[in-house]
Structure 1
Amino acid sequence: MVVLNRAGAWAAGLVLLLGACAAPPEPVPPVPLQPQASAADPARQAVLSAAAAFADPARLAGHPADAARAVAQLAWMSVALQQDQWWTGANPTLFFTLREAEREVRGALGVRPEATTAAVTMAFAAAASALERDRRDEAAAALAPVAAAGGEAVLTRLDPMPLMPRAAAATHFADQQMLEIMRSDPE
Structure 2
Amino acid sequence: MSKFINALLRLILFAMLIAGLIAIWEQVRSSSLLSRFRRSETTERTVLKEVTSLGKLELVKYTFKDIVEHEQINTFLPNANAILIVEGEATGCIDLTRIKPEDIQADADSVTIRLPQPELCGWKINHDRSRVYDTRFSFLNESQLVSDAYRQAERQIRQAALNGGILTQTRRNADQMLRPLLARVSGKKVGLVFDDRQ
Q: Higher relative contact order by CA 8 Å / sep ≥ 6: 1 or 2?
A: 1
Same fold (TM over 0.5): no
**Which has more radius of gyration?**
2
Q: What's the TM-score once normalised by structure 2's chain length?
A: 0.20
Q: What's the TM-score once normalised by structure 1's chain length?
A: 0.21
Greater strand content: 2
Greater helix content: 1
